[in-house]
Structure 1
């Protein structure tokens, strides 16, 4: 078979690229390391697959060049994603904050669409294929890969690197796309886990661990940005949507601030309650805002057993700071195996924003997570994967 392109990686970007290329009559071979395609799709959103976000726009992506993603996201929009899946029987329903899931709540349905289309379009899809090398010879590419211990070689005028990033190794994640980029002299921006839980060590570690399981709707922020969603106390520190979002903007050594009561003003609440019943304890009042366990835990820092009427100005200042400016200095993060995505990747300056082709290596394309474009939590990274797959398909 003469293939127009070889796609390395059968994830969201690679599958969309193969299908869109098929619509244009281009014959493609997809090489997937795992026993089945779409490994990260299948586990995303707890197996339900949050496949896009209604509000996705370039501002929801982190990159060395924040303008880079604009072209791809305008060529394949959220409306295009919704229409594409609807045309194959998948209707979306919004959960929270624009997050779109299949009505069936089955990620498998998303993968099945692509597998079925690849079959219908006659696209090659080889699983259990571990790519060992990519070489450029006489204007075409030679790709060597192992299947069941046997080395096979295939050539094509174009190669698409859609093999993802470093999270999660047990699903076959690797730095292969980054190594290929470097092999061809391309720059790679510094990589790090993103959308990842943060760890707390030192004197407060036990305090956080004892609160494991407590969830609080909060606002987190640093010098760059803030998010208002739930935080989750864990045995190792902090997680939950707000923390995962914030982690993408956090750097080691930095401090995070948390407003534990973003919907109100705790001193105003105390003042109003004192008029009604000044004998109530601070603990009782805080137990109305948080779980009893968390309110009691605040006793390490606040005079929770004092009644409201006897709180001094110094006490009130402590309450104000603790509730609205809870300060955390994470020790680190939980690493790639607990991260949703990778931050950084193939430098955007090495690629055409309109085609995602390497500027100095004609026929070599990079899409999806391996590129230095990282989305927020909530379907944004899938939208980038679909968009980059579509864009590449148009230019193979």
Structure 2
């Protein structure tokens, strides 16, 4: 045997697994197909890396088994993540909604923490390694990989698949984990892009495109969940934090609602304005809450150049409907090229929630994004990656 375990994929989960295995005196070999580890870490948060969320619990994760993550999050908590990085000189600074970023540092520093610890422990990291075949042995696993023009084979009693999901294929994302899981007869929950911008086509396409670059604080909801954050109009449709969040709960053909003024009642505001100055134009009132370009765009639907005192009951109802129940039927999403994560993946029923070991194949572990566990926007998916890497390492 060449090591105690072979880890395929040197992303967040694989790196944490290698480090934690090192603490336990276990020797691992990390195989990474890219020319450097931590590709998605390096681009996360615009290169600043939102590495966890202070408020992360099992409630912010989507899975067919919503209880699956509880064991891992008990074994490796948010406090553990914060303490781990603080130990290596990375202090967290909250940006908004519990999102922690490295204060005065960036994503490269986060990756450096792992590579330096791996070096200290003698954990072998092999980049530009393309795994071409995995064979199950009586006493473990044989992994064949290509590096340069040479083919090499490694053997170990334990194998960890931490190759991520399908988003951002230009960064090396593939369906490797899903293909290998299917080969072992494991069930796969249908996959789809998540935390992804949504597209608008048809008669409203031009209206959205005209507003490209405009951001509005809203409450975006469907019959399952609601998020209060900014939406961003784009030349193809909608993006921004609230849209990315709702996209994980959206399916093609569904309609969702946008409340364009979530903390105030537009009808009450109009009535108050009528009492003070009935000659105020509706556009003037809107300009107190929105950019002028957005107010002007609402003129397609509403009588914005009418004085508030002159608004009819029907018009008031239309205003209330438009501002608080702006219905959107997206045509689709921007796909895996623009998605931050993948929804669905390896069915959690195939794995032990306590160890992440495959029930059908002893010694085989899956961690991170390839499993049917999808977190919200804001550091949650990293927390799952760290936790799953830690859990696997304890059982190698």
CA offsets, 1:186-241, max 9 Å, x none? 11110000000000000000000000011000000001100000000000000000
Give 1:154 deviation, angstroms. Answer: 0.6
| SS of residue paired to 1:182 | helix
What CA distance in whole angstroms lies between the structure 2 residues aligned with 1:188 and 1:336? Answer: 18
| SS of residue paired to 1:155 | strand
| TM-score, length-scaled by structure 1 | 0.99
What CA distance in whole angstroms lies between the structure 2 residues aligned with 1:287 and 1:105? Answer: 38
Give 1:107 deviation, angstroms. Answer: 0.5
Q: Tell me whether 1:368 sits opposite 2:365 in the alignment.
A: no
Q: What are the equivalent positions in structure 2 for 1:212-361 lying under 5 Å apart?
A: 212-361=212-361
Task: Report what 1:56 is aligned to.
Answer: 56
What CA distance in whole angstroms lies between the structure 2 residues aligned with 1:105 and 1:177? Answer: 32
Q: Tell me whether 1:183 sits opposite 2:183 in the alignment.
A: yes
C-alpha contact 2:54 2:78 (8 A) present in aligned 1: yes
Task: Report what 1:195 is aligned to.
Answer: 195
CA offsets, 1:144-168, max 9 Å, x none? 1110121111111111000000011
Q: How many residues align?
A: 396
C-alpha contact 2:258 2:324 (8 A) present in aligned 1: yes
Give 1:134 deviation, angstroms. Answer: 1.1
Task: Report what 1:15 is aligned to.
Answer: 15
CA offsets, 1:273-298, max 9 Å, x none? 11111111111111111010110111
What CA distance in whole angstroms lies between the structure 2 residues aligned with 1:144 and 1:168? Answer: 25
Task: Report what 2:383 is aligned to.
Answer: 383
Give 1:135 deviation, angstroms. Answer: 1.2
| SS of residue paired to 2:262 | coil
Give 1:174 deviation, angstroms. Answer: 0.3
**Superposition CA RMSD, Å:** 0.7
Runs of 4+ displaced beyond 6 Å: none
CA offsets, 1:341-370, max 9 Å, x none? 000000000000000000010011000000
Q: What are the equivalent positions in structure 2 for 1:130-141 lying under 5 Å apart?
A: 130-141=130-141
| TM-score, length-scaled by structure 2 | 0.99
Task: Report what 2:118 is aligned to.
Answer: 118
Task: Report what 1:26 is aligned to.
Answer: 26
- Give unpaired runs (5+ residues) of structure 2: none
Give 1:46 deviation, angstroms. Answer: 0.3
| SS of residue paired to 1:338 | coil
What CA distance in whole angstroms lies between the structure 2 residues aligned with 1:103 and 1:385? Answer: 21
CA gap 1:117/1:167 in 2 versus in 1, 3 angstroms: same
CA offsets, 1:321-347, max 9 Å, x none? 000000000000000010000000000
C-alpha contact 1:47 1:105 (8 A) present in aligned 2: no
What CA distance in whole angstroms lies between the structure 2 residues aligned with 1:238 and 1:309? Answer: 34
Q: Tell me whether 1:80 sits opposite 2:61 in the alignment.
A: no
What CA distance in whole angstroms lies between the structure 2 residues aligned with 1:291 and 1:207? Answer: 15
| SS of residue paired to 2:182 | helix
Give 1:2 deviation, angstroms. Answer: 2.5
What CA distance in whole angstroms lies between the structure 2 residues aligned with 1:286 and 1:91? Answer: 41
What CA distance in whole angstroms lies between the structure 1 residues aligned with 2:60 and 2:82? Answer: 18
CA gap 1:245/1:358 in 2 versus in 1, 3 angstroms: same
C-alpha contact 2:2 2:154 (8 A) present in aligned 1: no
CA offsets, 1:71-106, max 9 Å, x none? 001100000000000011110110000000000241
What CA distance in whole angstroms lies between the structure 2 residues aligned with 1:111 and 1:31? Answer: 16
What CA distance in whole angstroms lies between the structure 2 residues aligned with 1:105 and 1:287? Answer: 38
C-alpha contact 1:31 1:129 (8 A) present in aligned 2: yes
- Give unpaired runs (5+ residues) of structure 1: none
What CA distance in whole angstroms lies between the structure 1 residues aligned with 2:230 and 2:260? Answer: 10
What CA distance in whole angstroms lies between the structure 2 residues aligned with 1:105 and 1:197? Answer: 28
